[in-house]
Amino acid sequence: MQRLPDGDPSVGLLCTLRDDGSADPATDPRLPRETLLRMYREMRKMRVLETRMVGLQRQGRVGFYGTCTGQEATPIATALATEPRDWIFPALRESSIMLVRGFPLDQYLAQVFGNELDVLKGRNMPSHMAGRAVNQVSWSSCIGPQIPQAVGAAWAAKLRREPVVAVGFLGDGATSQPDFHNAMNFAAVFQVPCVMICQNNHWSISVPTARQTASQTLAVKAKAYGLPGVRVDGNDALAVYRVVKDAVERARAGGGPSFIESFTYRMGAHSTSDDPTRYRSEDEVKRWAEKDPIDRLRRYLEREGHLDAAGVERIDQELNEEISRAIDAVEKLAPPALDTLFDDVYAELPWHLSEQREEMRRGPRAPSGH
């Protein structure tokens, strides 16, 4: 893959796509046309969907949302580079993996609205997605705990001799957390089949990466723990696919864990509760918008003859219609029934909680007279 020269802020970055849409022939994975078009469609789907979610939050129709705008390449390339049996331990910006793996859009939206279709029964914050059917674990608002969880799942798979890989995501801010270091050390010592992917989007809410570490890169941290670390252009979907695919296959074959730094940029706010204009410039955002991962993949597809302007327009129209239909249907649903508060806590509900549930179902008693 192309390496940018030392002295560049993206030193040691592995790239495949060039700005004009051409690709390094030595590293282009030459994916089938169907896979490439699906990759593009899933990236566009997330951009359209999350734009709608932010709009709904601003209208007071949902409570919270955190987008992956500008970072779509890494989770979606990862979804296509892994197998359905592999476990995903996401951070805030990887919920698109669920949709790529077949999680129903209406159930995804139900988690945002917190209604009766929500498999989490409305208990989790919006954007804290989970889907057991697609092997994706719910993430936590706490920074970094999913990394030792991913390592633990990989350790369990190794003990059971299952050909399963666990993929754990984190942001640049999580590399300052003790959980990160504990997980890296354990993973390397016990050689677990785990791939840790750090989406370095330059900002941990309002804290720049330069305030997180004095290391030239985050990938170099892997060396101290004795595991391979690689730095990839996170806005290059083909490069991310290749790097993740190699790391996953290596882990599955017994080669141990890997650490990947995906060098990208958070083009949107940290979440709908954040105002990024307070800590970063508009010029910075505009510079990174020129490296938009969706536009870069589109130029490659056009150059390869896989997509044209009519195809782009058709995909957007189909996605807008699909998402609008799903929102209209899900928004009408009622919240979870109150007695579901007792579900999914105990394997067998204790007698006193069973009585309380039955009392709740009967409804409030009329006040007795005096």
Distances (CA, A) of 189 to 165, 231, 253, 268: 17, 22, 17, 38
**Identified catalytic residue from 252, 270, 296, 298:** 270
> What is the structure's pLDDT at 12?
84
- Give me the CATH topology for the region 2-336: Rossmann fold (3.40.50)
What one-character DSSP code corresponds to residue 317?
Answer: H
370 is catalytic: no
> What is the structure's pLDDT at 9?
52
270 is catalytic: yes
> What is the structure's pLDDT at 83?
98
266 is catalytic: yes
- Measured between alpha carbons, how far is 292 from 151 in angstroms, rounded to an integer? 31
Ranges in the chain annotated CATH 3.40.50.970:
2-336
> What is the structure's pLDDT at 7?
37
- Measured between alpha carbons, how far is 108 from 125 in angstroms, rounded to an integer? 13
Cα of 357 vs its chain's centroid, Å: 36
| Residue 197: strand, helix, or coil | strand
> What is the structure's pLDDT at 173?
93
- Measured between alpha carbons, how far is 63 from 213 in angstroms, rounded to an integer? 33
**Identified catalytic residue from 30, 33, 211, 279:** 279
What is the per-residue pLDDT across 321-340, written as a single tens digit (0 to 9) for each?
A: 999 999 999 999 999 999 99
- Measured between alpha carbons, how far is 369 from 301 in angstroms, rounded to an integer? 77
pTM (2 decimals)? Answer: 0.92
Position 145, amino acid: P
Q: Are 231 and 3 in contact (CB under 8 A)?
A: no
Mean pLDDT of the chain: 93
> What is the structure's pLDDT at 127?
80
HSE-CB at 61 with a 13 A cutoff on CA atoms is 14
> What is the structure's pLDDT at 11?
65
Question: Which segments in the chain show pLDDT lower than 70?
Answer: 1-11, 366, 368-370
Instruction: Please report the DSSP string for 69-119 in residue order.
Output: TT-THHHHHHHHHS-TTSEEE--TT-THHHHHTT--HHHHHHHHHT-TT-T
What is the per-residue pLDDT across 163-214, written as a single tens digit (0 to 9) for each?
A: 999 999 999 999 999 999 999 999 999 999 999 999 999 999 999 998 989 9
